[in-house]
Structure 1
Amino acid sequence: MTDAATVDLHYLEMDSEGAPDSTPLVVIHGLMGSADNWRSHLKAWQRSRRVIAVDLRNHGRSPHSDDMRYATMSQDVLALFDKLSITQAHVLGHSMGGKVAISLARLAPERVVTLTVGDIAPVVYQHGHDDVFAALKRVREGQPKNRREADDLLAEHVDSRSTRLFLATNLARNEEDILGLRIGLDEIQRGYGDIIGLPAGDGPFEGPTLVLRGAESHYVTDDLLPALREVLPGARVVTLKNAGHWLHAEQPEAFQQAVEAFIEHHEH
């Protein structure tokens, strides 16, 4: 655990349309993402259960902080559990959010009924977001008045149109009618060493675990599976065809169905 101060996370919550007594699902986004990215999935999953998607610290509408350690970020989520009177939950995390979810499951296994990890392994990764940091800083310096201007600024560093559209979800208008960044970019960059590092906790999480990976992604390659199984020994690894790292956006129906089937199988 950590004695660092938690922050009061912003979140989206949707009540169950079907079974109010079913165990809730908590969804944790990845780096530069937010709860807003998951709205279509939340609508699908709320048919059978209450769903909550969080904005991690320095993301979305949540407060900013220099501490990006996984122990601290998982404590933020656990504090939200307590605030919402969630005793146990199904926990899903993608990418950086997957490491937060793994950390939470290792630090508080009694709170996690099932763990679903989207395209990340509990290993140290190499630096790989320099272009993203440069693009977002360029937008901040350029002070665009509209999204076309913002896209032009992002394009100076990021070629991929889909990546630019994703990064643009972090833009918000300020009082001067300028598009600024709502994320804690400087805090994220200072904490990047922790973000690409290991999840928090010691020993394995023994509970039911599903790892979904993209067939075209390099984040959970076969050579990383031994390290993954040291931390998640019971993990069922499922590969989604025609999907990369953003598998929930590239194959949304297959992703939704895999998660729903896994959770339903382990529902109390």
Structure 2
Amino acid sequence: MSNASSVELHYLDTGPVDIGSADASDALPLVVIHGLLGSADNWRSHVKVWQKHRRVIAVDLRNHGRSPHAEGMSYATMSADVLSLLDQLGVEKAHILGHSMGGKVAISLARLAPERVASLVVADIAPVAYQHGHDDVFAALREVERGQPQNRREADDLLAKYVDHRPTRLFLATNLERRESEKGRALALRIGLDAIMAGYDDVIGEPAGDTPYEGPALVLRGADSAYVSDDMLPILRQVLPQARVVTLKNAGHWLHADQPEAFQKAVDAFLAS
């Protein structure tokens, strides 16, 4: 599946729930995969809702969150990491939800190992190659590395040299943790930035796999986002022929944060069906 060695991913696992009279399909876990520079922590509020009805496993992809740093950011490699975790947890089949880069990991997993996927939810990403678009973000994170800020206000000032949008800066700041440095205990990046930047061409590329995923799929897109434009839909339907496409109003690329209740409602309705 991938030439790179799998890494042991960090994850949040709510554990099994008492499903009562729910049918066997509803007993299957939901695996949540974050986007570029995100982590499982970003999904805690959603996990709290979903765990009332099913087991939820939210992962930190390699070079993200609390997972190990390692070379290789191809979608075959990252989906192999997730499959290895499912093997470790004894999960034979699950619903898979991925946002942005995580959506491409989810598509890759579904195409390469469809027998492990009960259904697929893809949040605001299409199975296409995108243009480079994170140069300012990477420059901002490098500025934080050099600056070794003592607090989050200093970190925000460093990020603001390259990123004007405050919500984006707040999102990037979720990747900071306090460590010992030459300036004492300073804020530092917990992500594997070198490996992410080295593998960025893979990140913006197409998901892995050569065949369509024929199972049930839901594609959620933000009305204010350009990540899943109408002209991408023919390619999307070639890869996910059973996909239902739903557009959330007043939502951008981070649609699960912009419209959390609408996002949860759409996911719940799909899984219930």
TM-score by structure 1 length?
A: 0.97
CA distance in structure 1 between the aligned counterparts of 2:168 and 2:138, rounded to whole angstroms: 12
User: Do residues 80 (structure 1) and 85 (structure 2) align?
Assistant: yes
CA distance in structure 1 between the aligned counterparts of 2:71 and 2:90, rounded to whole angstroms: 28
1:186 CA drift (Å): 1.0
Q: Where do 5+ consecutive residues of structure 1 fail to align?
A: none
Report 1:5-84 matches (<5 A). 5-19=5-19, 22-84=27-89
Q: Residue 193 of structure 1 aligns to which amino acid in structure 2?
A: D
User: Do residues 3 (structure 1) and 11 (structure 2) align?
Assistant: no
The answer for the alignment partner of 1:163 in structure 2 is 168
Q: Residue 10 of structure 1 aligns to which amino acid in structure 2?
A: H
Q: Secondary structure at the match of 1:68?
A: coil
CA deviations 1:135-181 (Å, max 9, x no partner) are 00000000100000000000000001100000000000112311000
Q: Which of residues 137, 148, 151 in structure 2 aligns to 1:146?
A: 151
Q: Secondary structure at the match of 1:77?
A: helix
CA contact (8 A) 1:139 1:180 kept: yes
1:74 CA drift (Å): 0.1
The answer for the alignment partner of 2:228 in structure 1 is 220
CA distance in structure 2 between the aligned counterparts of 1:59 and 1:237, rounded to whole angstroms: 28
CA RMSD of aligned residues (A): 0.9
CA contact (8 A) 1:145 1:177 kept: yes
Q: Secondary structure at the match of 2:185?
A: coil
CA contact (8 A) 1:8 1:80 kept: yes
Q: Secondary structure at the match of 2:118?
A: strand
Q: Label 1:163 to 1:99 Cα distance change in 2 as closer, same or farther (>3 A).
A: same
The answer for the alignment partner of 1:245 in structure 2 is 253
1:112 CA drift (Å): 0.2
Q: Residue 11 of structure 2 aligns to which amino acid in structure 1?
A: Y
The answer for the alignment partner of 1:259 in structure 2 is 267
TM-score by structure 2 length?
A: 0.96
Q: Which of residues 193, 198, 205 in structure 2 aligns to 1:197?
A: 205
Q: Secondary structure at the match of 1:177?
A: strand
Q: Residue 51 of structure 2 aligns to which amino acid in structure 1?
A: Q
Report 1:124-143 matches (<5 A). 124-143=129-148
Report 1:102-113 matches (<5 A). 102-113=107-118
Give identity over the alignment, percent. Answer: 71
Q: Secondary structure at the match of 2:262?
A: helix
Q: Where has structure 1 moved over 2 Å in runs of 4 or more? A: 15-18
1:3 CA drift (Å): 3.0
